[in-house]
Structure 1
Amino acid sequence: MELDMSNEETSGDFNPMSDPDEQKHLLSVLDSFSRSYRRLAHFNGTHVRRQAFYSLPSEHWDLLSKPPFSVLESLSKVDDLIESNAELAEAIFKAGFKNFLAPTIDSNWVATIVPEKFARDEYKVFSTVMDHVSVDSSETNLDKARSCVNQFYRDWSTEGATERSKCFGPVMNALQNEFQLHSAKAPGLVKSDWKVLVPGAGLGRLVFDICLAGYSVEGNEISYHALMASSLTLNHTTKVGEFTVAPFALNGSNHVRRSDQFKTCRVPDVHPGTALDTATGEMSMSTGDFCVIYNQPGSRDTFDAVATVFFIDTAPNIIRYVEAVRNCLKPGGIWINLGPLLWHHVARPPNPDGGDKEISTHSHEDTGIADPGSVELSDEEVVALVEHLGFSIEKHETGQIETGYILNESSMLQNTYHPSFWVARKN
């Protein structure tokens, strides 16, 4: 089963190259995975550190160069791990290029700029095209590329299973309980008849797991970084453990042992193509602003359930999210939410330039998360708002779940969340 990367925000085929701002952003995202990731990871991860190391008094760096410290040897190991991460980043680049850029490019023009010796090397062909277009590198996109590569540890590694279980497990249990209630009233009901929406789908693991459980599921994502990464994993990986990720390599702080910094994991932990061959449900992904897409008349009363995990705090205006969920959810349908409230748009200026949005929505009167303004609510206030806007809270727990987010369990610094978990039914 290949993930359908259709865009429901616009009619017809989605062409991000048709708008100058969208084109500029997309090219910057592609560049952040291809030419920039490897170069800047080496520069910031080891080159700058070597310069600082050699700035120490010579007798000091000479001492620290030898066992048991071997600082220079450790930096060389980091360089090797950066290469492994860069292989994954460049694979994401190729998947993204094929999905978003290749359909818009004149193949005859490509043939005139690509040397014959590169003709059978996808990465070389795509990189040559990037060399011939104007690309503005963005520090924000470079940071997102690094974060996206590390995200594979949480979503697609065996080592990340503990975090996934704590965050996805309650959602899957709530879906199962709700389906059993419905099937008891309608004995002929099968899971594939049930439609589930996952906004903020990220790298696609929860979408995949829900589909594998038998439901028909649609993910939604606004980030090109995440869309490209999920497309690679779901559509283009060939085997389990195809890539090696070192999620902690670029962080030199709070390690008990140097080996903790060098931990690696193999991804994906399951081959999605093989696993989905026997799936009975359908799986798709929509691209664009959740508020814009799912608050339209065409999305009204569409889904039996909406599942949001570590998502609602990405809303500048949480009312927009609640309205979109209410619109697309069937009467009596449930909204399952799990996550903290690390509000992403703190004190956003009243006239933002839109630089932090991913896929533009300027062609719509409703601009979704691009609207000005932001607000930060407590969990108690969020639940009260959800009830005020047409839902009944049937379950609400706080402090029952403890989880990290891409957590290095060996680190001397442990950042953990105690997320809120609630289930709301549309009245």
Structure 2
Amino acid sequence: MDESVPMDEQEDLLADPEERRVLHAAFDSFRQYRRAAHYNVTHLRRQSFYALPAAQVERLSSPPFSLPKTFDAIDNAIDSNADIAEAIVKETMPNFGIDPTDDSWKGQATRNDFDKARSTIRQIYRDWSAEGLPERHACFSPIMAALETYLPAASPAQRHFSRVLVPGAGLGRLVFDICLAGYSVEGTEISYHQVLASQYLINYTDRAREHTLYPWALSFSNHQTRDNQLRGVKIPDIHPGTALDKAHQELGLDVHYGDRMSMSSGDFCVVYRQPDCRGVFDAVVTCFFIDTAPNVIHYIETVKHCLRSSGVWINLGPLLWHFESTLTPAERDKARGRTKVAANEFEGIAEPGSFELSNEEVISLVEQYGFEMVEQTEASATGYIQDPTSMLQNVYRPAFWVARKK
């Protein structure tokens, strides 16, 4: 994609040793995706398989089982996924001023980083494949309709006057779709894994359907058939640059998309509580996001801070509180990928203390912090990176609400 669609450059990140470590670990985990997946997914399984009695190995090596051939096919799928992971590293590393030939960034990934790399590659299915459209539609359609309702414009060409913020932007598809509709939109994401992948998908893919992703290949459970496990999808489903150029022409937009869309890394509660963010957005959109907070009050206060008077908060998602399990402070720091900042400095998501609320209680809390609830309903049931052919189906029934800042 043309670089006229910029992502915020992170030139000062390397000055902070902890940020540098986290960023290097993210790059390293993508670099090692191929080796780690081959070892954990197929190598160890081959060891277990050939430890069986000889007669059982022979039976399971023959049709219709042919497990050795299955392992080979999984290895091929891993290689295809790894091509995506390595493209992310190659194309995005220069944005951060890192010399790929300098080995100081290598070998820093932890088990947690490998898990994040693996889940990020799999999440591309939801955000950037045609097969992931049903999940996107269930979540994005109510949000897009609400933007039209609560940020009315005389024409699509005038939507750029409305500024929209998307915290927890993930792989950037919702940010992209909001920009595609003509709005000025800014996304932020705390996970470097997600930021790097979104940069690659939006800025650096050359064409639609450039890669083949095997989202279900690395798990052997709950498959009706082996073909389901080995099913590939083409990504991205559209070429972002081409789609944005087309929308720019068809909608007669006055402002180029390069000036209407940005995405950066950072803790939402730290970045958007700054004085220069006070009252600058017409809408804040949170999708499958607010339950990532150990203390949702910090999210509420930050949304209120950065919304203009009468601005709207559009929320859709469940309440799978990410920090519900009891962790020590050190374990929480490790899980968040950050270390403690200087004393008397606000730590955002890393602030101590946590609690979990019901949906009814969340709505009451939002109202108590100066919002008027103008719409609330239950959104369509949906999975989240859910294999539609799997024998196990996890289904969310997300809440949807719109609150206006008083």
Common fold by TM > 0.5: yes
Q: How does 1:155-174 map to 2 (within 5 A)?
A: 155-174=127-146
Select the residue among 413, 417, 425 that pairs with 2:396: 417
- Partner residue in 1 for 2:58: 62
Report the CA distance between 1:270 and its aligned residue.
Answer: 0.7
Counterpart of 2:205, as a letter, is: T
Report the CA distance between 1:396 and its aligned residue.
Answer: 1.1
Counterparts of 1:14 and 1:358, CA distance in 2: 20
Asked if 2 retains the 8 angstrom alpha-carbon contact of 1:85 and 1:245, the reply is: yes
Counterparts of 1:79 and 1:134, CA distance in 2: 23
Are positions 1:129 and 2:106 aligned together? no
Asked if 2 retains the 8 angstrom alpha-carbon contact of 1:195 and 1:303, the reply is: yes
- Partner residue in 2 for 1:382: 362
Q: SS where residue 58 of structure 2 aligns? A: helix
Unpaired runs of at least 5, structure 2: none
Q: 1:159 to 1:300 in 2, by over 3 A?
A: same
The two structures, once aligned, show a CA RMSD in angstroms of: 1.9
Counterpart of 1:340, as a letter, is: P
Are positions 1:251 and 2:256 aligned together? no
Asked if 1 retains the 8 angstrom alpha-carbon contact of 2:284 and 2:314, the reply is: yes
Q: 1:97 to 1:359 in 2, by over 3 A?
A: farther
- Partner residue in 2 for 1:215: 183
Counterparts of 1:390 and 1:160, CA distance in 2: 36
Counterpart of 1:21, as a letter, is: E
Q: 1:257 to 1:175 in 2, by over 3 A?
A: same
Counterpart of 2:390, as a letter, is: S
Are positions 1:266 and 2:234 aligned together? yes
Counterparts of 1:378 and 1:362, CA distance in 2: 31
Select the residue among 272, 276, 284 that pairs with 2:262: 284
Counterparts of 1:196 and 1:356, CA distance in 2: 29
Asked if 1 retains the 8 angstrom alpha-carbon contact of 2:294 and 2:323, the reply is: yes
Q: SS where residue 330 of structure 1 aligns? A: strand
Counterpart of 2:357, as a letter, is: L
Counterparts of 2:274 and 2:21, CA distance in 1: 27
Unpaired runs of at least 5, structure 1: 8-12, 106-125
- Partner residue in 1 for 2:87: 91
- Partner residue in 2 for 1:139: 111
- Partner residue in 2 for 1:41: 37
Counterparts of 2:19 and 2:229, CA distance in 1: 37
TM-score, normalised with respect to structure 2? 0.92
Counterparts of 2:287 and 2:158, CA distance in 1: 25
Q: How does 1:351-390 map to 2 (within 5 A)?
A: 354-358=333-337, 362=341, 365-390=345-370
Report the CA distance between 1:395 and its aligned residue.
Answer: 1.1
Deviations 1:135-163 (A, max 9, x none): 32211110000000001100000000110
Q: SS where residue 130 of structure 2 aligns? A: coil
Q: 1:133 to 1:294 in 2, by over 3 A?
A: closer
Are positions 1:349 and 2:303 aligned together? no
Are positions 1:404 and 2:401 aligned together? no
Instruction: State the percentage of identical aligned residues.
Output: 50
Select the residue among 4, 7, 15 that pairs with 1:5: 7
Select the residue among 15, 18, 23 that pairs with 1:21: 18
Q: 1:167 to 1:188 in 2, by over 3 A?
A: closer
Report the CA distance between 1:250 and its aligned residue.
Answer: 0.8
Report the CA distance between 1:96 and its aligned residue.
Answer: 3.2
Counterparts of 2:230 and 2:376, CA distance in 1: 39
